[in-house]
Every structure is written in structure tokens, then in C-alpha cells.
């Protein structure tokens, strides 16, 4: 029997808040998230958050680091779920502080199912996802009229092991955002090229978005396939593939001529 099963009949359960911590910098917390965090009795926080978050945690809160990074897990998902239940069933108000947004590759859904199955009161607090934070801090949009009207989010850990329709991906006329995929980028880029993507399609790697240590690199899809885009930091990175990356290459003629032509067609 796990500790989560030892519920007292006399103890009213607490509440669990699944809170998005944003891309890493505490300054990117929403006001709602900050106010909830300030009242937390227990905090379980992720690896993708800057250590400066510790400075804004309540001094009397019970704090657990439960970060999961590639090759280094401080706690399994089952252990995290049990901690949430254990503290909630003991009457504590718990904040599960997750990097980015809880429901964008954050396993928030798995924790939500656990809370629902045990009748624990919960509240979901969305956060700024690294999806849009990465592109914004780097300096290019995810969508732009005439260049990209769609965004495709891929998981670099599993996309190579699934029945992926690479021909469809290669024809995708929008922005591809690759989470957890910096190491698998060369293979993904090669598959896109093999199925018809342009060799000149621009690629950006954004690391540590929102922090002073933010690094941005760009290259072509061919160069990415040749492993010419590698991480420079130990922090999280997100990859973007698509013509919107041309904003970083200062190719404003391509970016804005497309908008002008479309505006003429609409007039």
C-alpha cells in the first residue's frame, strides 16, 4: 500500500494546483500563478525552472525538487503522483509547479488523471509555454501572413519511433516546433529532406529562452541534417523549422513581400 492510500476519514483533503511556471524565468509567471504560489503549503517543482524560483517560494513551504531531465530523473512520474496524493490527503494545499504550460509536453494530463481518480480537488493554472516563449525571445513569430498559418508541435523523443507520415510532414506549409529533439534533429532533418523538404528551409535552435543565458542559432535544413546545429548550453532547447526563422536571418524582403502580395490579393 502506498502512502497515498492512507487517507484519514477525519482529515479533509487539500487542493492541488497544476501551475505553469513559464519558460524558466520567474518574471514570466502569470499573476495568478504567483498569487497561488505565495500561499502554497507544499511545492513540487520541475527541472526546467531557473534556481531563482526558490527565492519566491514561501519560507515555510515544504519544497520538493522532482525534475526530470534526459538521463537524470530525480523522481519517477509514479513517485510524483504519490507525493501529490499524500500531501493532498493530509490536508495540504499543494502546488505542482511545472515548466512552461502543464499541458504542453508537461505530463500534466497524467497528474490530472491521478487527482480525478482519487477525488482530489484541483485547479489548473496555464503558463507561458516554451513553444511561443522560445520564438518570441529569439525574435521571430510562429505564424506570419503569407509564410505560416499553421504550427505543428513534434516530440523529438518519440516521433522517430512512431508511424510518422514523413511525406505529410515534409509538405507541411507552416512552422514545425520540435520539443525535446535537439539530439534527434539530424535524423529528423534528414527524413524531411528525403521526403521532399527544401534544403534551404531555415532552422533555429533556441536554448534557455527567457534567461540571460539564452542562445539562438540558425542554419539550413541541410546543415541541420549534417549535425551543424548543436546545443551550447546544458539548459532546455527547442527547435523551430520553417520560413518564419528568416526573421532572424534579417531576410525582411522575403518576410514582408509575402504579406504585401497577400494584402493586394485581398483588396
Of 147, 110, 122, nearest to 244 by C-alpha is 147
Q: Where are the alpha helices (DSSP H) in 93-183?
A: 108-117, 130-138, 166-171
> What is the rounded distance in angstroms from the CA atom of residue 195 to the CA atom of residue 257?
28
According to DSSP, residue 209 is labeled T
Backbone angles phi, psi at 7, to 5 degrees: -75, 135
Dihedral angle of Cα 55, 232, 150, 109, to the nearest 10 degrees: -50
Query: Catalytic residue positions?
Result: 46, 68
> What is the rounded distance in angstroms from the CA atom of residue 148 to the CA atom of residue 175?
6
CB 247 within 8 A of CB 147: no
> What is the rounded distance in angstroms from the CA atom of residue 210 to the CA atom of residue 225?
27
All three cell numbers of 199: 534544403
Amino acid at each position: 500500500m502506498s502512502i497515498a492510500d492512507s487517507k484519514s476519514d477525519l482529515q479533509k483533503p487539500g487542493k492541488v494546483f497544476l501551475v505553469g511556471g513559464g519558460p524558466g524565468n520567474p518574471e514570466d509567471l502569470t499573476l495568478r500563478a504567483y498569487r497561488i504560489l505565495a500561499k502554497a503549503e507544499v511545492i513540487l517543482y520541475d527541472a526546467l525552472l531557473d534556481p531563482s524560483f526558490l527565492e519566491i517560494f514561501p519560507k515555510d513551504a515544504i519544497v520538493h525538487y522532482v525534475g526530470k531531465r534526459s538521463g537524470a530523473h530525480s523522481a519517477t512520474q509514479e513517485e510524483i503522483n504519490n507525493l501529490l496524493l499524500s500531501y493532498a490527503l493530509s490536508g495540504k494545499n499543494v502546488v505542482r509547479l511545472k515548466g512552461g504550460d502543464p499541458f504542453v509536453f508537461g505530463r500534466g494530463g497524467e497528474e490530472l488523471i491521478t487527482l480525478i481518480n482519487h477525488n482530489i480537488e484541483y485547479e489548473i493554472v496555464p503558463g507561458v509555454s516554451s513553444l511561443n516563449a522560445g520564438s518570441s525571445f529569439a525574435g521571430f513569430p510562429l505564424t506570419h501572413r503569407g509564410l505560416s498559418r499553421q504550427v505543428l508541435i513534434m516530440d523529438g523523443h518519440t516521433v522517430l519511433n512512431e508511424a510518422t507520415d514523413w511525406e505529410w510532414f515534409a509538405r507541411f506549409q507552416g512552422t514545425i516546433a520540435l520539443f525535446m529533439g535537439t539530439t534527434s534533429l539530424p535524423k529528423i532533418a534528414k527524413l524531411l529532406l528525403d521526403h521532399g523538404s527544401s534544403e534551404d528551409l531555415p532552422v533555429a535552435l533556441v536554448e534557455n529562452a527567457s534567461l540571460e543565458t539564452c542562445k539562438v542559432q540558425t542554419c539550413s535544413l541541410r546543415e541541420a541534417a549534417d549535425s551543424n546545429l548543436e546545443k551550447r548550453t546544458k539548459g532546455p532547447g527547442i527547435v523551430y523549422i520553417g520560413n518564419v526563422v528568416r526573421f532572424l536571418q534579417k531576410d525582411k524582403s522575403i518576410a514582408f513581400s509575402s504579406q504585401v502580395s497577400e494584402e493586394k490579393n485581398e483588396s
